[in-house]
A and B are shown apart, each in its own frame.
Chain A
Amino acid sequence: MAASTDNKMQVTNEVMILMSQVNKWFGAFHVLRDINLTVNKGERIVICGPSGSGKSTLIRCLNRLEEHQSGDITVQGITLNNDLKNIDEIRREVGMVFQHFNLFPHLTILENCTLAPIWVRRMPKVDAEALAMKYLERVKIPEQAHKYPGQLSGGQQQRVAIARSLCMEPQLMLFDEPTSALDPEMIKEVLDTMVALAEDGMSMICVTHEMGFARKVANRVIFMDEGQIIEEKEPEAFFENPENERTKLFLSQILDH
């Protein structure tokens, strides 16, 4: 599949995320160092790098699951600061999918999906359920709607988590290693869902080591190490001729199998 031929996947000039000079420390540990990143609407960014390099922290800063100490982050024109209103507004526009799904085990799949639309968007229950069923169909598990998360396989749970985020109809999706906790035979179903999402024009930032996925859908691949963005390129160029030594080393380690 040639990704760029699809019209929906066109990148626009509208800036969605602007990070400038962002720094973050965990105690004395400098985890993000001078991050500058611009993401336009419709872009699909893959972030990779060795463990502990700050990839997850970077995307968790975008919806204030982590607080940055200096620099500016703007999402959809809203500045991320201590103002709770801004944070709430950004969280409504930005969906997030976690490594460990973080579904709510005491609620059914349908309730998991309708919770935020009902309580955050103040949507009537009937409408929220219709919306949830629409997205559950899109991730191909409408028949599981009345089960509890614990009764589903890992891959199914992650697809529910994607549907749950989509129910808020976000402008941007953040994926934090969505396939790392899955058994190998379940990775494909989740990646397929994500590819379909990308083809529909969703802007997304993915922290992942699925290089096949990166080649297929990303229009930029970012390599991070020790809290810095070391290399940032289109996928072809990134995989074929990485410039930085650390990128080369990393790629040789994860691709040589």
Chain B
Amino acid sequence: MTKSRKYVRLKDAPLLPPPATEAGVTGWLWQNIFASMTDFQSIGACVRSLFMIFFSLLLVYVFVDQTFSLMDFAIFSAVWSDPEGLKREACWTLQQGGALPDGWHGACWPFVWAKQKFAWFGPYPSEELWRVYLSFAIGIFGLIWVLVERMPFRAQVGVLMLTIYPLFAFILLTGGNSGASFTGIGVWIIAGIAVISVGRIGATGYLGAVFSSVSGVFGIVGWGIVALNVFRGVAAVDFNLTPVGTGDWGGLLITLVVALTGIVASLPLGIVLALGRRSKLPVISILCTIFIEFWRGVPLITVLFMASVMLPLFLPAGVNFDNLLRALIGVMLFSAAYMAEVVRGGLQAIDKGQYEGAQAMGLSFWQSMRLIILPQALTHVIPGIVNTFIGLFKDTTLVSIVGIFDLLGAGQSAVADAAWSTPVQAITMYLYIGIIFFIFCFGMSRYSIFMEKKLSKSRRH
């Protein structure tokens, strides 16, 4: 080292702490709030900053004002109880003949408490309500078990929740003893096993190459038939419970039954349809495309009308199936079509190399789908899937137009009760229903965000 030139650094530059505007709470406040409103360097910047200050204050004012109005209505000014059993008079002002000051505006919660049972369960007989409570309790317990990561045997519990639980809940809620003939069910089960066997034989390539590539479809259909008829068979057993027809169901119970059936059925159906639409076999691909486009092309209300009003006209006289079941099937197929397109989006995002990698290792089509492609594709589209779930949950309110009283329908008919007639009656009920819907939808949304974060942590690309 004889001489050093000026531009050569001899020592490492020191690592300095960041300025206050870049890190910590002050940094956050500066970058997100104040940076945009403190620039007064030029006239343009001045105008911009003043605008920002003005609109920020305006937004804060509107937000605070609205929040306060809502809180005031729902909490501070609300009537909470009706100890004297006055009913509507408990929520009347002096002018209207009650005790509250004139100009009062608040929620009438005693009305909601009085209609609580109706809003949750509709006309379900009160002495049989334990059956609903029991199926809700087990459902919530199982759901939490499956969703919370630290629980052991989550997969097994999940399988139970998807197989035994629906059957159990169905028998509890309806009372079982459906009256279906066991001989008929037996014939169906044998037919299902036959379809599965045909699929198995086809998979060995015995019935030709084209057939062997669609043999998986036979397996799915066959197992579907068997499962459905085992379900019907158990539901036909007499458990000595008082039968409660679905006509006596209502409120949140209906909302949950319709939404959960739709959610649980739409994902697997959607996956099958999406795979089918991308199939290389033109027959399968065209059939799936027609199915998807048909169901996406008609409004859900039309589907429900068709199912409950038109369908019975086409069925032979005497054949009658449950109004709720018809609506359920409509909702299921409708949401499956939407789900299929979401899943297809995920499938298209998967690199061709992933299929080739799986193929080159000797995995079969179904193995590579199950182990490689679908786990990645579904992870990509979690927001879309949950979006469809949330949409479906809220669309269940449409069943009330075909005479099925879901939460909204039950709430609306409760509002018609003259014994509670007050100016705030409807608003209170809708607020209550809104809160219930919000809790469910917001819950789904948060869980999906949690899943996304978790998966992006462990699977960095």
Contacts and interface: CB of A to CB of B under 8 A. Distances in A.
A168 B361 contact: yes
Given A98-B353, A106-B375, A106-B459, A116 B209 contact: no
B362 A120 contact: yes
Contact of A91 (B351, B362, B459): B362
A96 interface: yes
Interface stretch (B87-95, B263-271, B364-372): B364-372
B361 A115 contact: yes
A102 B461 CA distance: 12
Interface of B (DSSP majority class): helix
Interface string B42-72: 0000000000000000000000000000000
Interface stretch (A80-88, A208-216, A219-227): A80-88
Contact of A84 (B212, B357, B375): B212
B361 A105 contact: no
A104 B354 contact: yes
Contacts, number: 74
Contacts of A168: 361-362
A22 to B, nearest CB: 19
B163 interface: no
Contacts of B358: 104
Interface in A87-143: 88, 91-92, 94-96, 98, 100-106, 115-116, 119-120
A81 to B, nearest CB: 10
Q: For chain A, which range describes its interface: under 10, 10 to 19, 20 to 34, or 35 or more residues?
A: 20 to 34
Interface string A144-160: 00001011000000000
Nearest to A88: B362
A92 B460 CA distance: 30
Contacts of B371: 115, 119
A98 B357 CA distance: 8
B205 A150 contact: no
A63 interface: yes
A164 interface: yes
A65 interface: yes
Interface string B348-392: 000101101111111110010001100110010000000000000
Interface hub of B353, B354, B360, B458 (most chain A Cβ within 10 A):
B360
Contact of B360 (A65, A100, A101, A115): A65
Given A148-B460, A151-B460, A102 B354 contact: yes
Nearest to B204: A85
Nearest to A120: B362
A82 B356 CA distance: 17
B362 A105 contact: no
A148 B459 contact: yes
Given A96-B360, A115-B371, 4 more contacts: A84-B213, A104-B372, A105-B461, A116-B362
Interface of A: 63-65, 82-85, 88, 91-92, 94-96, 98, 100-106, 115-116, 119-120, 148, 150-151, 164-165, 168
8 contacts: A64-B359, A65-B359, A100-B351, A115-B361, A116-B362, A119-B363, A120-B361, A148-B458
